[in-house]
Chains A and B, each alone.
Chain A
């Protein structure tokens, strides 16, 4: 078993909704959003862990908690054995920042538009006092650019972000992380804003870096289809909690939680020429607001298998199948997820409606 590098125990983060001056005067109770509501996970060294979920599920908050860009409301977060929730000393924080780096979703806003590539990459070096001379720093910058395959570096080093494509910008952002030789990287939807054509390329690059640079990743995405390719472990988040987690192959091939099953079925039709059928995803509605979490299993209002117990009792994690593959559902391992599929005739009319499992659908 590889060493644990990040360990979260009962991690919680609440946001207070800011009040208008009048609301404060009226002493209205402060509204709280439970963005992360007591989660546990482990990230192993030189492995990639993915957090998947719809927007608003708290996955980005987890990333920022790990990055120490946000302070946890309660719970513990150990990084390399140190509890970083207690970290407040400026110098220690700076040391920590050198160890953990973040890649943002939007490469158009994560790079200061007034800085050239050189300045963007030089900044972390200056902050941490790495490299005594400009020449030394320049060499490091060139190396970093080569690492992210922006070659030849000379061609890119004097450009402004607006002179780069989205993919190139994201590579610069990655280079900015790598230049500090971090131990692990939080990648918050690093490819979702990019053209489909360059996504695979960038994911490939990141995967290569895991191997060549001994990196650990926390990969945050709403697109469950990219996780199989890139990560070793996966956690599925819903409304601030992890509903299912485990090795990526186990979770994807044998989803235990109805929510995971729904996410998997929402993956776009792999065969675009199959125009003769329409899938209907059985979960209804949208993710509820974090200020108003449902009682019992928080997925029950949207769950197609919801029973009485689901409304009352909070499910505990179960491990019905593979080792390390757990799900927080009362019926984990007992339910089979079915999709409604409408078969269409050639003139577009519905011929018949069938209920198929994911496997059956794939076979057809």
Chain B
């Protein structure tokens, strides 16, 4: 399939351009407006350095050492370099995953101060929570949506419509707050905070994690599955109105096969891509939901970096990561759509 391979290359090129453009914009904003922050970063580091100095040193030696160290750090970051050079360097470093070092001082309890190590420490928990939630709400959403499409106009269908409108007007993390009020405060079923993780090993550890994960997971699923179901329902009903479906029905094809065979085949490209896009759009809300539950993932790290430590390299790292996720997700959605729906450009090629 050379044509679709070319489409793949082109779409990938586009994604790469977007990624570079976005990182460039971020680096630009970051470098043009961050003189104050540069001072902050340097003084944080100098402070940490001062703490570790040999207490036997005379004040003069001390001052000299600090001065040298400060200059060394300024040179290291290149804060004296021209602005454009700095912007391009930040762009390049970020794109090559050289995310620098955290200025938090305590590295969020991670042994290494490299931002990439810190992120790698927190990321798996976020992935655990998000992917589990995504699998559940997407499957549940498609199942409920299909059911509703079959009985379009019924009470179930109307209830689903109301439910999906309501949940999509709620901030996900607010639903999390309500969940804590009800299930943790009032009923006492779950811990009010997910952190720290259980101090146990083996089976008990996993049970403990699951217990802590239940509420954030339930919250994400509750808020997102209605929208998925409603979207699926709409795509399926619009396909159900196509002539060939009518024809299939008229021929006496069993209703189950009409829905699961003919209709789902046609409706699957938009269902799949919209699921990916909805997932991407929900990342912000889900990260804030982590914060509400004290789930020790990326959201938690972001809030600490933003509010407590003002740790710019870590913030940049998280921003870069979400950018990559978005660009890759968007790229994947497009490719999948092209793969699943032969009518898109890839297929149009074949006719010529």
Contact = CB atoms under 8 A, between A and B. Distances in A.
Contact flag (A, B; Cβ within 8 A) = yes
Interface string B319-352: 0000000000000000000000000011011001
Nearest to A31: B352
B10 interface: yes
Contacts of B3: 22
B6 interface: yes
A20 B10 contact: no
A226 interface: no
Interface residues of B, number: 9
A23 B348 CA distance: 10
Question: Chain A interface residue count: which class?
Answer: under 10
A25 B352 contact: no
Most central of A21, A22, A25, A26 by chain B CB within 10 Å? A22
Nearest to A22: B349
B6 A25 contact: yes
Nearest to B352: A23
Interface string A250-271: 0000000000000000000000
A133 interface: no
B7 interface: yes
Contacts of A28: 352
B352 A21 contact: no
B335 to A, nearest CB: 15
A22 B348 CA distance: 9
Nearest to B351: A20
A169 B32 CA distance: 62
A20 B6 contact: no
A10 B105 CA distance: 82
Nearest to B2: A26
Nearest to A19: B352
Interface string A16-52: 0000111101101000000000000000000000000
B63 to A, nearest CB: 64
Interface in B1-48: 3, 6-7, 10
Contacts of A26: 6
Nearest to A25: B6
B274 to A, nearest CB: 23
B28 to A, nearest CB: 30
A25 B7 CA distance: 10
Contacts of B10: 21, 25
Contacts of B352: 23, 28
Contacts of A23: 349, 352
A26 B7 CA distance: 11
Contacts of B349: 20, 22-23
18 contacts: A20-B345, A20-B348, A20-B349, A21-B10, A21-B345, A22-B3, A22-B6, A22-B7, A22-B345, A22-B346, A22-B348, A22-B349, A23-B349, A23-B352, A25-B6, A25-B10, A26-B6, A28-B352
Given A22-B7, A22-B346, 16 more contacts: A20-B345, A20-B348, A20-B349, A21-B10, A21-B345, A22-B3, A22-B6, A22-B345, A22-B348, A22-B349, A23-B349, A23-B352, A25-B6, A25-B10, A26-B6, A28-B352
Please name the 4 residue pairs, one residue from A and one from B, whose CB atoms are nearest each other, closest first.
A22-B349, A20-B348, A22-B345, A20-B345
